[in-house]
Amino acid sequence: MGVDAPTSRRARIRAETAHEIKAVALKHMAANGTASISLRAIARDMGMTAGAIYSYYDNRDVLISALIADVYTALAEELKVARGELPVDDAAGRVRAHGTAYRQWAISRPEEFRLLYGDPEPDYTPPPGGAAAEAERNLCAALLELVAAAWPQAATTIALDEYDWSDFDTEFADRAREVGLIPAAAALSLRIWGRMHGLVALEVYGHLSPQVTDPAKLYRTEMGELTRSLGLTG
C-alpha cells in the first residue's frame, strides 16, 4: 500500500491536470473560436511553463484530437440518454428524441459543434485511428442502431435495390451489417443524419435567423415529416 500510494497519487494528479488543460482549451474555444487553441496560451492561463504542458500533450494536434474524442463521447452519451427515455418499439419517438437532443446539444455548445463539424483547424492533421476516430465511429453506430429499430416499418417506404455494399466505406458497411442492416438501410441512416444535421448547421451558423423567429418549431416540423416519410407511427 505504502509503495503504491505515491504512484496512484501522481497518476491522479496527472489525470486531473490533463482534464483541466482540456477544460481551459474549451473556454478559449468558446470565447475566441476553435482557431484560438494554443498550448502556450493555455499554459499561461494555468500558471504552467510551456515545457510542462508539452509533457501532457505533445502538440496542439494531440490536444485537439483529445478534445474531439471527448466531445464525440459526450454527445453520444446525451443522445443515448434521450433515446433511452422511450421504449425500443417507439421508433418514431426515438428518432425524434435523437434529433431533438442533437439540436439542443448543438445550440447550447456551438463551439463544440464547430469543432466536430465546422471548418478544419488551421494546419490541423487528424491522426489515423485513435480515440477521436473511435468516438466518431461509436456515434455513427448509434445512428445505425436507431435505423435498425425503425427498419421493420421504414422498409415499406424505401426502395431496397438502389444501393449495394460497394457504395460505402468498408468499415461503415461492416458496422451496418453488425446491426442487421441491408445497404438501403445503411444509406437511410446517412440520409436521416443529413436531415437532422442540415437545419441544425444552418441555425448554429446563423443562417436561419434572418428568415425565422422560432427555429425549434421549424425543426420539430422537419422531424415530424421525417418520421412520417419513413412510415413510422407513434
Count how many Cα atoms sit within 13 Å of the Cα of residue 92 in the half-sphere of its side chain. 15
The residue written with cell numbers 427555429 in the block is 215
Distances (CA, A) of 26 to 67, 92, 222: 8, 34, 31
CB-CB contact of 204 with 110 (8 Å): yes
CATH class of 60-229: mainly alpha
The whole-angstrom separation of Cα 52 and Cα 63 is: 14
> Which of residues 133 and 114 earns the better pLDDT score?
114
For residue 138, the model assigns a pLDDT of: 84
Q: Which amino acid is at 208?
A: L
**CA quadruple 199, 99, 173, 124: dihedral positive or negative?**
positive
Give CA 226 to chain center in angstroms. 21
**CA quadruple 148, 150, 78, 226: dihedral positive or negative?**
positive
Q: Other CB atoms closer than 10 Å to residue 190's CB: what's the count?
A: 15
For residue 3, the model assigns a pLDDT of: 41
For residue 7, the model assigns a pLDDT of: 63
Q: Other CB atoms closer than 10 Å to residue 217's CB: what's the count?
A: 10
pLDDT digits (tens, 9 = 90+) for 8-66: 888 888 999 999 999 999 899 888 877 788 999 999 999 999 899 999 999 888 899 89
Quickly state the pLDDT bin for 1 (edges 50, 70, 90): very low
For residue 120, the model assigns a pLDDT of: 62
Instruction: Check whether 123 has a pLDDT greater than 80.
Output: no
Query: Where along the chain do its domains lie?
Result: 1-57, 60-229
Distances (CA, A) of 149 to 48, 92, 114, 190, 226: 50, 10, 30, 15, 15
The residue written with cell numbers 419513413 in the block is 230
CB-CB contact of 95 with 226 (8 Å): yes
Average pLDDT of 172-182? 94
The whole-angstrom separation of Cα 83 and Cα 142 is: 10
CATH class of 1-57: mainly alpha
Burial (CB count within 10 angstroms: exposed 0-12, middle 13-18, buried 19+), residue 206: exposed
Nearest to 71 by CA among 160, 131, 149, 21: 131
Distances (CA, A) of 198 to 53, 195, 218: 38, 5, 12
Quickly state the pLDDT bin for 234 (edges 50, 70, 90): low
